[in-house]
Structure 1
């Protein structure tokens, strides 16, 4: 029996993603771990029928859940399924269908509404596919721009998080041929401020060390292979150093930076474009990577992979990233609470620091 009071357990909403992808399979595999109920209350935004479809496909899964249509009946001792729709939906694992995208959006928007209304404390999103979600009713290239719009955020940041690294992106879902115009001093400064703020507020790092990657091969080779480093990136780093309290270094040549393990020397890395950051991140995160949207007034995380239609419905998908996404969401919620408490009571922060030092000293003595 858990010793944590029910009202102290964060309520974590989980959107189901594309019905024909691996989202619901991963969700069921993850939340079937009974220990999860000791630290949070999961709420899946889907339908009973969709949950039962995938539960039958996982014969070893003995998940029990409570169905609800309003949060007045939330059960902190069970997994909850918030029914976003009642109609029958044809689920065809592995196929890209209009229905798969339609109900992924319904799940997501329902979860975001619950987040806005304070019914849930954090959101974990299962993967969606742009081909069957983007349109007139959902004119977004993915979760990040949608959440920015939904919460009227001035600026947001895609921050990839793993136990051994954190990688932020200056540009996200932008074609490589269109990246150049986004490499501006103002954009770099804006993203660096978001990285710095997130490290302090979301990860408890007072004076973060941030690395900035170059845009061109060999970081421009002093202007021989492009001039963005000399004319834009270096001046941005210099100005940020003068304004902020973080340690910022760069621009680094991206290939050598990761190959030599420099990412482990920094609290965060700012990459210039999607694949520059995501290829090494996914290669080195060992299946435990998480996509976190920094800059929002709420906490949202996601696994670092897509819908994986090629393995959907085959009971072979690895839930490690989904598990990490839920735990990262919980960690950031608690860290933000501590950050707010420390701001309102600076003496508490000093006390916590002395306590941590005392614990370290005891460990060393033992």
Structure 2
């Protein structure tokens, strides 16, 4: 079996990464750029070719703080279009591998329109441990599905771990039924698919109604652990946020105080991981849910968990969060919630935060007897 520290690529099925999703600090996102050559109508980051892009060392320098003794299991690179910075992708993948971290890259596949992978992009793709492509009805307006699948087929034939990210308008969207069936046929069930639903963020907010209930209700909150406050994200300007909700990411330095963990220019991975794991507010939200924390603080919370979370930067709920985590039974409850979330596995996580109908597609191509492996 290969040692990751020898500098060669390791196998990394999508399932392995998703299984770690509930574990605080087990991975970190890097938003390498907001720039993108595509103009998809649903783009959650509202990216354009002229969008913001910051110094590469905000990301490469931060990756350089990973050590063999203290590093995330996974680093996920995205944009915008991260492959507009192929040298940065390549260098990050190489650097984190020396610490024992595996790398994941997602692309909108703009280059596939020309029927080939340019050499510099190919070098970046070869360096990462897992390559994911975005595919949906909006991307297909700009990049043909056949071109995307041709690239993925080529990479899979060479032994590369690849996957697809798809989104649809609803569980019953005929596009999802047709596209997933086509992908399974074209790629012979070798490639896993992570299927989600379009939300009213970014450009989609211009035409998609927000169906959340934001009114404050006098209803008793129930325990509803947050499963997406476990992996920090280094946003486009280097601000590190505890939540990957795009509405929060877009605020950067202006995000709610309890969701800001620091800045990649001044804080190491070790500092960010410690803050992720020890913040009383984050621990309470991951274990009880934001609505329960608000109610414990004497606040009538919004019915929507994300909206309720925004209000937790006020003094009273943050003080209440400290009291909650210091209660004698809280650590056992915290571990119990993590165990329950982890026991649901990758499929359980996708059913909760993505598509219930297509959640099982994340298992395609997984062969336990071959994981982990080397190529």
Give the TM-score normalised by the residue count of structure 1. 0.26
Larger strand share, 1 or 2: 1
Q: Which has the larger radius of gyration?
A: 1
TM-score by length of 2: 0.25
